[in-house]
């Protein structure tokens, strides 16, 4: 045989392989010939799609098959089907000549993903007034996103606000880059929705862009102030950290059991919540500044997750 004894190259992983751009993936290469020769120590060339060559040795032999260890490779930045070529040059073992062997290994490369989040969204927001939200983006590859833009649009698709991601990730995260964006509430009361978009085309590694949305309740401008004091029924001791709700309006009592909530005139249902206490909802009509005192009864909390009684 002029070219030598044929050698077959195979990989242990199903083909095509799949990986996100820039991510590491691995494969194990096997070489076998009809006579079952041991090729431990021979070098295999792994040729990347860009032509880069990385020699890797065969490290083990069993049952007539020589095998490399796990070969770690990185997916290229080119999206779509990419081909790595495995090449074992012609060689000789104990006087027997073996032919060159090659195998193409297709790898399906996809873009890295991104995710978006919005938080510290005030609700309610006052019609026609400015408010701020925090918005952040993250790359699944933990790529730095500083300086890239996040856009917020209103329900009609008009640009509502834009911000550049800061240089430092949000505390406690690896790579959630964030910014604060100022918006203007719609002029009319009711629920409102904004959409957020992060465009990832400027990144050095291909990424998918991402989008999400958030909602807030828009309310008329407050006209009056309601002062609320919450005390323990039996002792009249003030209760701090009691959560208050009047429709879309929220408040929390301070150390003296007092809270103050600005709201427009109208009828409301005042609900209170604090773990270990109970007080029935109370109707409140606001036509001027007002004061309300609530007596809360100490109770054994049967359901620690219970919040508001409707």
Kindly report, residue by residue over 76-117, the tens digit of the pLDDT.
999 999 999 999 999 999 999 999 999 999 999 999 999 999
Structure tokens at 303: 């359901």
Q: What is the mean pLDDT of residues 28-46?
A: 97
pLDDT of residue 310: 45
Q: So where are the chain's domains?
A: 8-109, 114-219, 224-298
Are 8-109 and 114-219 in the same CATH fold?
yes
Q: What is the mean pLDDT of residues 23-37?
A: 96
Q: What is the pLDDT of residues 3-18, one digit of tens each?
A: 899 999 999 999 999 9
Q: What is the mean pLDDT of residues 53-80?
A: 96
pLDDT at residue 303 greater than cutoff 90: no
pLDDT of residue 248: 85
Fold annotation for 224-298: Immunoglobulin-like (2.60.40)
Q: How confident is the model at residue 304 (pLDDT cuts 50, 70, 90)?
A: low
Distance in angstroms (rounded) separating the CA atoms of residues 196 and 212? 5
pLDDT of residue 300: 75
pLDDT of residue 292: 96
Yes or no: say if 187 and 181 are a contact pair by the CB < 8 Å rule. Answer: no
pLDDT at residue 204 greater than cutoff 70: yes
pLDDT of residue 60: 96
Q: What is the CATH number of domain 114-219?
A: 2.60.40.150
CATH number (2.60.40.10, 2.40.400.10, 2.40.50.140, 1.10.510.10) of 8-109 reads: 2.60.40.10
pLDDT of residue 123: 80
* pTM of the entire predicted model: 0.75
Mean pLDDT (the chain, rounded): 94
Q: What is the pLDDT of residues 243-287, one digit of tens each?
A: 999 988 989 999 999 999 999 999 999 999 999 999 999 999 999
């Amino acid at each position: 045989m002029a070219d030598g004894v044929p050698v077959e190259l195979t990989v242990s992983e199903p083909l095509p392989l799949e990986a996100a751009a820039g991510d590491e993936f691995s494969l194990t290469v096997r070489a076998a010939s009809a006579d079952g020769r041991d090729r431990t120590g021979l070098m295999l060339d792994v040729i990347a799609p860009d032509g880069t060559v990385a020699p890797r040795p065969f490290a083990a032999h069993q049952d007539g098959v020589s095998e490399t260890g796990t070969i770690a490779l990185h997916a290229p930045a080119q999206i779509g089907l990419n081909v790595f070529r495995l090449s074992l040059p012609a060689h000789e073992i104990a006087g027997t000549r073996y032919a060159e062997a090659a195998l193409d290994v297709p790898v399906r490369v996809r873009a890295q993903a991104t995710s978006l989040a919005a938080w510290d969204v005030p609700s309610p927001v006052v019609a026609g007034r400015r408010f701020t939200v925090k918005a952040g983006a993250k790359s699944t590859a933990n790529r730095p996103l500083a300086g890239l833009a996040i856009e917020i649009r209103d329900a009609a698709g008009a640009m509502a606000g834009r911000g550049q991601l800061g240089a430092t990730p949000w505390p406690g995260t690896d790579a959630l880059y964030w910014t604060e964006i100022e918006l203007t509430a719609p002029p009319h009361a009711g629920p409102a929705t904004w959409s957020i978009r992060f465009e990832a085309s400027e990144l050095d590694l291909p990424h998918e862009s991402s989008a999400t949305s958030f909602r807030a309740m828009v309310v008329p401008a407050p006209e009056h102030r309601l002062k609320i004091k919450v005390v323990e029924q039996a002792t009249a001791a003030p209760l701090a950290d009691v959560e208050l709700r009047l429709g879309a309006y929220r408040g929390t009592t301070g150390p003296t059991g007092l809270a103050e909530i600005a709201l427009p005139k109208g009828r409301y249902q005042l609900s209170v919540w604090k773990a270990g206490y109970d007080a029935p909802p109370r109707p409140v009509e606001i036509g001027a500044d007002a004061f309300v005192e609530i007596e809360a009864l100490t109770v054994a909390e049967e359901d620690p997750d219970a919040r508001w009684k409707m």
